[in-house]
Structure 1
Amino acid sequence: MTSRFRSLFYSTAVALTVAVGSPAPAADPPADGAFAAFVDEYYAGLFAWDPSQATAAGIHDFDDVLPDRSAAAFEKRAESLKKLVERLAKLRAGSLSVTDATDAELLEMSIRAELLEIEAVRDWKRNPVVYLGKPAEAIDLIMKRSFAPPADRLKSVIGRLKTAPAILAAMKTNVTNPPKEFADLGLIVAKGSMSYFRTDLPAWAKTAAGGDEKLLAAFEAANKPVIEEFERAAAWIESDLLPKAKGSYAIGSAAFKRKLEVEEMLDIPLDKLLAIGEANLTKDRAEFIATAKKIDPKKTPAEALALLTDDYPKPEDLVGATRGTIERTRKFLIDNKIVTVPSEVRPTIEETPAFMRTGGFASMDTPGAFETKAKEAFYYVTPPEKEWDAKRKIEFMRQFNKTGMDIITIHEAFPGHYLQFLNAKQYPTKVRKLYTCGTNVEGWAHYSEQMIVDEGYGGGDPRVRLAQLSEALLRDCRYIVGIKLHTEGWTVEQGKAFFVEQGFIEPEIAFQEARRGTYNPTYLYYTLGKLQILKLRDDYKKAKGADFSLQKFHDDFVRQGGIPVKLIRKMMIPGHNGPSI
């Protein structure tokens, strides 16, 4: 589904994850002194504003604090960003090297994306998850990675625990009249966080304290108020927020288009953007129907898909079943020279933590580019909730069918997110080590699903192709539903119906997907990015002629960083000025 890059807990366009077991970092090219100072100042300010981003990046100067999320803090942050834009404009007007000019463009996009969020989208005023997700997310980053001795990390956790109640207090002050969908998700995250602070974190803390009773007592004293605050927050959502949750999730056409400009470097009229998505849905749907007939010409496409989706593991066996997909997908890449695999380290497969279960089904969480010690990478898969009825659980688990799970692992691990960010330590500059956009990272992972089957994964078995096309249809529907939800007044129920009818998606998954579109407006970046990469590959192949190598194309692409494909085109095909899509 997604990596941490596009988590529900909005974090600008800056990456929160990166490489495990990567080659030694390449030396950064020298930057202009004034611009280099600006880069350092920008990130210092960003990490002070959102310390968990620093922790995730592998920078541990802010591990013992959580951010101020008062209304005054948001206003101050916006003013700071506006001043940064002015200063950056002066630097860009001067003489910058090609490398610095690229980084300056990326930074301006990142700053303007954050300003758009604060001033126009304003999720901090309407989405309780912005607050509810932060404490557990930030503390979990410290708990699960061994970048320092456990006792030292526990001391940082205690510091973050002490600042957690203020975030929940800010939520109650700032969030008014949210969309019902956001309030519902807030309750899920609040309850998941309570479980984390009551059970998971204390179990780790007891081990981390290593017999130091004074340290353990300090943890317990700091953790108790956090549990109580989450209990009060959940009660507040149920009794106060939900009855008043009548706001609109739609951000509108102007903000939607602007998000694509400042987050993905794409300036496309909405009617053209929608036409691209609809055309791709038509193409993929036709291929899906034709492939279904190869499996059983007497069955409908939905019935043919059911032959795959009926073969799914029990929820308690989901992690084990996922582990079985890693070696065969990785081996195929190596045997067929698809892309270089630069590490022997494998990700750890675990259930998605309860506080992160907001509509995603699988994700990848890897250490940051500046992490020097921790190597733990987590491939998360989400089981159905225990309190769901049997029908809902079955609909949910069908996505984890035996054939489809290979496609999920291709997306999340090999050659998708995990492999791409195995290369992160060698990205050429500080900015490119810390920046990502969805059309690149999600586009690459989604492109990988189609590409690897095109290259022979599955040995031509139409069931494997059908599983791949099922994932493609899901992303095509996201593309269209996101636009319709935010610019044409669609409801979640209309979105759900579209996923079911056009994408052959199970009703429970269709609901989860449509609801995700309310808080992740531009989740069209999967398909849009895939189409950009396919076009880049075609143009690159024409430029290289007889020298074209698929492996070299892939190696060159994943070494550029998670930057917009429009910029990668300039680097991989010098002098080529064609459109990116």
Structure 2
Amino acid sequence: MRPTPLAVAVLIATLAACQPRSAPAPSAAPVAQAAASTAQADARFADLSKRWLDGWLALQPVAATQTGDHRFDEQIDDLSAAGRQKSIEFNQKMLAELDTLDASTLSRENQVDAAILRNQVKYDLWGAQTLQSWAWDPQLYSQLAGGALYTLMAREFAPMPQRLKAATARMEKIPGLFAQMRENLDPARVPKIHAETVAKQNAGVLSLVDELIVPQAKQLSGDERKRLDTAIAGLRKAVAEQQAWLDKTLVPNAKGDFRIGQTLYDEKLAFALNSPLSRADIRQRAEAEIKRVRAEMYGIARTALAGKPGAPAQMPDAPSDAQQQAVIEAALALAYADRPARDKVVELAKTSTAQATAFVREKNLATVPDTPVEIILMPEFQRGVAVAYCDSPGPLDKGLDTFYAVSPIPDDWSAEQVDSFLREYNTRSIHELSIHEAMPGHYLQIAHSNKHPSTLRAVLGSGPFIEGWGMYGEKVMDDAGYMGGDPLMQLIQRKWALRATANAILDQAIHVDGMSREDAMKLMTVTTFQQEREAAGKWVRAQLTSAQLPTYFVGYSEHIDLRNEAQKRAGDKFDLKAYHDKLLSYGSPPVRFARQLMLDEPIK
């Protein structure tokens, strides 16, 4: 068993205390005192962090279920004025306690956890008091309603009858959540895009009931079955009433601005990224990276087009902007021609995940986890924001499936829209998607993260570390020659890198600089070669979210900086697999802390 820093410190202190007093080593007393001080500080922090985590999860029962803490499975988040005030007071108390703790006396691992915890507590307070999403973002409520049931039914963490009883209790409470939504939301502050999106998602709650709960209802009997049936009937009525309110009241009267503005954006960005990179730093890096990657793509495109019919007549060493654009587009068209049928996207996601996993093992890129991953259709209540996501089990749930969820093509899309989507998500792009979401991306990284002994760090995983690792994993696979060094695969990998880099620019340009849809679409469809359906979806996503789209590029940039520095220090002794395994052993902290731990730099 790997000893914890606290156990080591206590052992050192105990051994030092057992030495004969008559002949201590000259530095024994100071060392013993320092070890004892660290042990005491670590013990105090362990108590504080446990009390915070217990209180935090009690205030967020749906998140608790996702995390794997099932004490609150029959509860649902309270977003009433009283519930929000209770959360504020809890966080104020925790912050006051953190302020009395001298972080410099903690072990290095706990210095990192203390910094992560402080950021989260302050972020929660800022969200409740300053951003106030509860007053203008209906997604907060719709995601809670769907998540309340999905987190109970998707994974077999307990016998089905137990989960059905918990689902019954939550279905009884969801109408109250809808009532809080109607009470809290100020239509004058709700952006229309948010209202319209939630109006489309609302029925997804019932799809969860019909697909995950009703088929299992026979496992309950007697009064428990009657209560379940009554809860389902009550929820159906509540969803219908909610749909009428959304369609007739919220959507027509939604007048808010989806752009949160510079002050809120910069404050949110600092909390969400927990990175030394500022908004200006991110913009400067992203613009330079787009220029660099486009130049690389041009060189690869010339190779891919060599000898091909229909290749542009002019492919000079020093192209004009128009020539560069034409050559890259012509080469990408070759990749777009190889694509799955509209009903075979999920099947291709499965086969590409298996292929990527075999490649990671063959090239010895990282230790492959033995926990299972399952490719599924994205639940309806989650659709409309992203094409795919990795849904890993909570750090407190052991040995359960990881879901790699893929959104189906909407039935009401025209042939032109379907064609645009499949050009973007062509065969090679699905391979790239599987690399990012599954192997060696999120699935592999989070499986490693969940083994880290710090529950707090696992629960508060850093978005930039996680998303940045997914993007970094794409580069690792490209560097290792995935798909035999196929130039079209290399081209698609760089196109995906451009997409993620453009995300970082889009987010701040839209929310701070007022970027128009026209300019956003040009950045995506021309500068970074995205298809119209992908770009249109990203425009919607950028309106619905803020400070999330930059996590990919920011985390990737920090991962690359760290890898380069580690490789520079190790020289010829650098071992890529050993580097990856060591980095992943730290869990999912902000990359700056992973760097400080790995390179033995001061924690700050």
Regarding TM over 0.5, the answer is: yes
Distance change >3 Å, CA 66–CA 525, structure 1 → 2 = same
Q: What is the rounded CA distance, in whole Å, between the counterparts of 1:531 and 1:94 in structure 2?
A: 28
- Aligned partners of 2:180, 2:527: CA distance in 1, in Å? 41
Structure-1 residue corresponding to 2:480 = 455
Q: TM-score, normalised by structure 2?
A: 0.87
Partner of 1:14: none
1:434 aligns to 2:434 (yes or no): no
Matching residue within 560, 583, 587 for 1:534? 560
Please name the residue that 2:365 is paired with.
338
- The answer to whether the aligner puts 1:179 opposite 2:206 as a matched pair is no
Query: Match of 2:156?
Result: 146
Amino acid at match of 2:211: D
State the 1:93 CA deviation: 5.9
Q: Distance in 1 between the 2:203 and 2:44 partners?
A: 47
Task: Please report how far the alpha carbon of residue 483 of structure 1 lies from its aligned counterpart in structure 2 after TM superposition.
Answer: 0.7
Structure 1 residues 181 and 288, CA, compared in 2 at 3 Å: closer, same or farther? farther
* 2: CA distance, partners of 1:560 / 1:104: 15
**Alignment check: 8 A CA contact 2:282 2:504 kept:** no
**Which stretch of structure 1 is more off in the superposition, 65-74 or 437-446?**
65-74
Q: Which amino acid aligns with 2:597?
A: M
Seen in structure 2, the aligned counterparts of structure 1 residues 421 and 25 have a Cα distance that, compared at 3 Å, is: farther
Q: Which of the residues 126, 142, 145 maps onto 1:135?
A: 145
The letter of the residue matching 2:334 is: L
1:513 lines up with 2:525 in the alignment: no
SS at match of 1:426: coil
Pick aligned residue for 1:391 from 416, 433, 438: 416
Q: CA deviation at 1:44?
A: 1.2
**Most deviating of 561-570 and 172-181:** 172-181
Structure 2 residue aligned with 1:280: 289
User: Alpha-carbon deviation of 1:78?
Assistant: 2.1
Q: Distance in 2 between matches of 1:72 and 1:390?
A: 50
Structure 1 contact 26–425 (Cα < 8 Å) conserved? no
When structure 1 is superposed on structure 2, of 477-486 and 173-182 the one drifting more is 173-182
Write out per-residue CA displacement over residues 409-438 of structure 1, whole angstroms, 9 at most, x where no aligned residue.
110111000001121342132222212111
Three-state SS of the structure 2 residue aligned to 1:160 is: helix
Letter in 2 for 1:195: S
2: CA distance, partners of 1:183 / 1:306: 37
Counterpart for residue 505 of structure 2: 480
> Partners of 1:196 and 1:520 in 2: how far apart?
24
1:358 to 384, 394, 418: 384
Question: Deviation of residue 576 (structure 1)?
Answer: 7.6
Mapped to 2, the partners of 1:225 and 1:193 lie a distance apart of 13
Contact 1:205 1:219 in 2 (8 A): no
User: Are the structure 2 counterparts of residues 425 and 498 from structure 1 closer, same or farther at C-alpha, using a change threshold of 3 Å?
Assistant: closer
The amino acid of 2:44's aligned partner reads A
d(CA) in 1 for partners of 2:419, 2:219 = 42
- Range with bigger deviation, 420-429 or 177-186: 420-429
Q: Name the CA shift for 1:266/1:254 in 2 (closer, same or farther; >3 Å).
A: farther
Aligned mate of 1:188, from 200, 203, 207: 200
What is the CA–CA distance in structure 2 between the aligned matches of 1:518 and 1:188, rounded to whole Å? 16
Q: Please report the TM-score for the alignment, with normalisation by the length of structure 1.
A: 0.90
CA-CA distance at 1:532 after TM superposition: 0.8
Distance 1:493 1:182 in 2: 20
2:247 corresponds in structure 1 to: 238
> What RMSD in Å do the two structures reach over aligned CA positions?
2.1
How is 1:19-418 mapped onto 2 (pairs within 5 angstroms)? 29-30=6-7, 32-92=42-102, 95-176=105-186, 177=188, 178-197=190-209, 199-206=210-217, 209-210=218-219, 212=221, 214-296=223-305, 298-299=311-312, 300=326, 301-343=328-370, 345-372=371-398, 375-418=400-443
The one-letter amino acid paired with 2:128 is I
Assess, with a 3 A threshold, how the Cα gap between structure 1 residues 211 and 228 changes in structure 2: closer, same or farther.
closer
**Paired-residue identity, %:** 27
* Aligned AA (1:481): L
Deviation string 1:327-375 (CA, Å, 9 cap, x unpaired) is: 21011111111111131x4311111010000221111112111114x51
Is the CA contact (8 Å cut-off) linking 1:253 and 1:486 kept in structure 2?
yes
Classify 1:269/1:435 alpha carbon distance in 2 versus 1 (closer, same or farther; 3 Å). closer
On the 8 A contact 2:149/2:208 being kept in 1, the answer is no
CA distance in 1, matches of 2:602, 2:94: 32
- CA positional deviation for 1:446: 0.5
Check 1:67–1:575 CA distance in 2 against 1; reply closer, same or farther (3 A cut): closer
* DSSP 3-state at the match of 1:423: helix
Contact 1:493–1:511 (CA under 8 A) maintained in structure 2: no
1:466 aligns with 491
Deviation at 1:103, TM superposition (A): 1.2
- What whole-Å deviation, never above 9, does each CA across 1:459-493 have from its counterpart, x for those lacking one? 22111011111211111111111011111112344
Tell me how far apart the structure 2 counterparts of residues 28 and 371 of structure 1 sit (CA, whole Å).
24
**Secondary structure, counterpart of 1:443 in structure 2:** helix
For 1:211 and 1:225, locate their aligned partners in 2 and report how far apart those are by CA, in whole Å.
Answer: 18
What's the CA shift string for 1:264-293, capped at 9, x where partnerless? 222444333211111111112222233223
Q: Could you say which residue in structure 2 is the equivalent of 1:12?
A: none
1:455 deviates by 1.5
- Aligned equivalents of 2:339 and 2:174: distance in 1? 39
Does the CA contact (< 8 Å) of 2:420 and 2:532 recur in 1?
Answer: yes
Q: Which amino acid in structure 2 is aligned with residue 189 of structure 1? A: Q
Q: Which moved more, 1:326-335 or 1:288-297?
A: 288-297
Give the drift of 1:94: 7.5
CA distance in 2: counterparts of 1:335 and 1:128, whole angstroms: 47
Instruction: Show CA shifts across 1:177-199 (max 9, x none).
Output: 311111121112213223333x2
Unmatched segments (≥5 aa) in structure 2: 8-38, 313-325
* Equivalent residue letter for 2:145: P
Deviations 1:283-326, CA, capped at 9 Å, x for gaps: 12222233223222625322322322233223322221211112
